[in-house]
Structure 1
Amino acid sequence: MEIISAQNTRVKEWAALQEKKHRDKTGKYIVEGIHLVQEALLAEAEVEILAYDLDKGMPSELKAHLQAVQGMEVIGVSAAVISKCSSTNTPQPVFAVVRKEQQGVEGILVKPDSLVVVLDGVQDPGNVGTIIRSADAAGADGVILGQGCADLYNPKTIRSTMGSMFHLPVVEGDLSVVLPQARERGALLVSTSLTGEDSCYTHDFRGSQWLLIGSEGKGISPETAALVDKSIIIPMAGRAESLNAAMAATILLFEGMRQRGGGGE
Structure 2
Amino acid sequence: MTITSPHNAKLKEVRALHRRRERDDRGRFVAEGEDLLAAADAAGWVPVHRLVAEGSGLAGEEVDPDLLGGVSTLGSGSRVVGVYETRWAQPVGPLCVALWGVGDPGNVGAVIRSALAFGASSVALGPNCADPYSPKAVRASMGAIFTLPVARVASIDELPGETIGLAARAGDELRGDGATAERTLVIGAERTGLGEDVEQACDRLAHIPISSESLNAAMAATIALYEVTRRP
Calculate the TM-score normalised by the size of structure 2: 0.91
Preserved CA contact (<8 Å) 1:17 1:23: no
> Residue 226 of structure 1 is aligned with which of 183, 194, 200?
200
Q: What do residues 66-121 of structure 1 show as CA deviations (whole Å, max 9, x unaligned)? A: xxxxxxxx3100123212321234552111111112x332xx34x4xx11000001
What percentage of residue pairs aligned between the two structures are identical?
A: 34
Counterpart CA distance in 1 for 2:222 and 2:190 is: 14
Partner in structure 2 of residue 67 of structure 1: none
Preserved CA contact (<8 Å) 1:136 1:164: yes
Going from structure 1 to structure 2, the CA distance change for 1:227 and 1:203 (only over 3 Å counts) comes to farther
- State the number of aligned residues: 232
Q: How far apart are residue 191 of structure 1 and its match?
A: 1.3
Q: Equivalent residues in 2 for 1:22-171 (5 A)?
A: 24-58=24-58, 74-89=60-75, 91-101=77-87, 103-105=88-90, 108-109=91-92, 111=93, 114-171=94-151
> Is it true that 1:188 corresponds to 2:174 in the alignment?
no
Preserved CA contact (<8 Å) 1:119 1:214: yes
Q: How far apart are residue 2 of structure 1 and its match?
A: 1.4
Runs of 4+ in 1 over 3 A off after TM superposition: 88-91, 202-206
Q: Structure 2 unaligned runs (5+)?
A: none
Task: Indicate the larger mover: 14-23 or 213-222.
Answer: 14-23
Preserved CA contact (<8 Å) 1:116 1:142: yes
Counterpart CA distance in 1 for 2:114 and 2:143 is: 11
Q: How far apart are residue 45 of structure 1 and its match?
A: 1.3
Counterpart CA distance in 1 for 2:22 and 2:194 is: 29
Going from structure 1 to structure 2, the CA distance change for 1:181 and 1:29 (only over 3 Å counts) comes to closer
Partner in structure 1 of residue 221 of structure 2: 249
Task: Indicate the larger mover: 198-207 or 36-45.
Answer: 198-207
Q: CA RMSD in A?
A: 2.1
Counterpart CA distance in 1 for 2:172 and 2:190 is: 20
Q: Which has the higher helix share?
A: 1
Counterpart CA distance in 2 for 1:136 and 1:123 is: 20
Counterpart CA distance in 2 for 1:152 and 1:256 is: 24
Aligned AA (2:190):
E
Preserved CA contact (<8 Å) 2:68 2:76: no
Calculate the TM-score normalised by the size of structure 1: 0.80
Counterpart CA distance in 2 for 1:55 and 1:231 is: 56
Q: Secondary structure at the match of 1:3?
A: coil
> Residue 187 of structure 2 is aligned with which of 199, 213, 224?
213
Q: Secondary structure at the match of 2:44?
A: coil
Aligned AA (1:241):
E
Q: How far apart are residue 182 of structure 1 and its match?
A: 3.6
